[in-house]
């Protein structure tokens, strides 16, 4: 099956520190891939490079018919990647001075060029889907952490992106809000949305993912179905990590 997104030789450095060291990864349409691994190994940076929040130094990202060479990316290509990807941040990244509805419409009006009326209608549809139909006029400060993250997910959903990127979507939440956010991500996954999820929730990764990718030291060490990675990992580094997080 053809790749929905094909990453070849992706390299990212911060100064002398190589954070991504030649990443190759292919996601098929509708595939849910979870990335696990120790902190500081480049998992979040990989997602940020795919949305061009961080610019990679080398490699190629192909999403559908759009292929972007990191060394020669144009502004139009970068905007093209951003239009086709939705990013869910670990710390919500909502506009504090905008309501839940306005946070969702922002990308529709600025990135997609939709009219305000069309964007509001789409936002109300999304608010209903994420269980916040009655909170559209609420500002982030009036929402719980779980509700704020659901708005963040709704903002990504509203764009109808080819690929959703989740950067540890529960890491900033109090324990009582984790379940509601994971349930929403499961519901999105059930619709066969292509998604790449960085998570430290091992049971969630096991349940939701078609494939698990284990990263360490800026490289992909091992990947495979959840049953194989969690039940019979091939690499000593994967086994050691899973024992630690056990």
Are the beta carbons of 104 and 155 closer than 8 angstroms? Answer: yes
Mean local confidence (pLDDT), 100-121? 94
∠ CA 103-88-155, nearest 5°, is 30
pLDDT tens sequence across 82-108: 889 999 998 889 999 999 999 999 999
| 42: confidence class by pLDDT, cuts 50, 70, 90 | very high
Q: What is the mean pLDDT of the chain?
A: 94
Distance of CA 121 to CAs 61, 105, 114, 129, 145, Å? 33, 9, 11, 13, 25
Longest dimension (CA), the chain: 55
| 157: confidence class by pLDDT, cuts 50, 70, 90 | very high
Are the beta carbons of 69 and 7 closer than 8 angstroms? Answer: no
Which residues, including other chains, have CB under 8 Å from residue 204's CB and lie 6 or more apart? 34, 170, 182
Strand order in the sheet with 5-14: 17-27, 5-14, 58-63, 66-69
Inform me whether the pLDDT recorded for 246 exceeds 80: no
3-state secondary structure of 163: strand
| 1: confidence class by pLDDT, cuts 50, 70, 90 | low
- Domains annotated for the chain, with CATH where assigned, are 5-245 (3.40.50.300)
The model's pTM: 0.93
């Amino acid at each position: 099956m053809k790749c929905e997104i094909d990453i070849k030789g992706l390299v990212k450095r911060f100064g002398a520190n190589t954070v991504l060291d030649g990443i190759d990864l292919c996601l098929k349409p509708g595939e849910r891939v979870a990335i696990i691994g120790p902190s500081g190994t480049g998992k979040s940076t990989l997602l940020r490079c795919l949305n061009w929040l961080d610019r990679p130094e080398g490699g190629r990202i192909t999403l559908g018919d759009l292929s972007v060479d990191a060394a020669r990316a144009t502004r139009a290509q970068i905007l093209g990647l951003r239009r086709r990807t939705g990013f869910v941040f670990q710390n919500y990244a909502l506009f504090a001075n905008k309501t839940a509805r306005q946070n969702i419409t922002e990308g529709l009006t600025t990135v997609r060029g939709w009219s305000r009326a069309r964007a509001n209608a789409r936002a109300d549809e999304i608010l209903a889907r994420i269980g916040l139909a009655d909170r559209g006029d609420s500002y982030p400060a009036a929402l719980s952490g779980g509700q704020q993250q659901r708005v963040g997910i709704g903002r990504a959903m509203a764009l109808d992106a080819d690929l959703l990127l989740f950067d540890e979507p529960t890491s900033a939440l109090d324990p009582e809000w984790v379940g509601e956010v994971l349930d929403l991500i499961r519901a999105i996954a059930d619709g066969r949305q292509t998604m790449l999820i960085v998570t430290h929730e091992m049971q969630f990764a096991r349940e939701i993912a078609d494939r698990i990718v284990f990263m360490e030291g800026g490289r992909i060490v091992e990947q495979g179905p959840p049953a194989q990675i969690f039940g019979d990992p091939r690499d000593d580094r994967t086994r050691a990590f899973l024992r630690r997080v056990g």
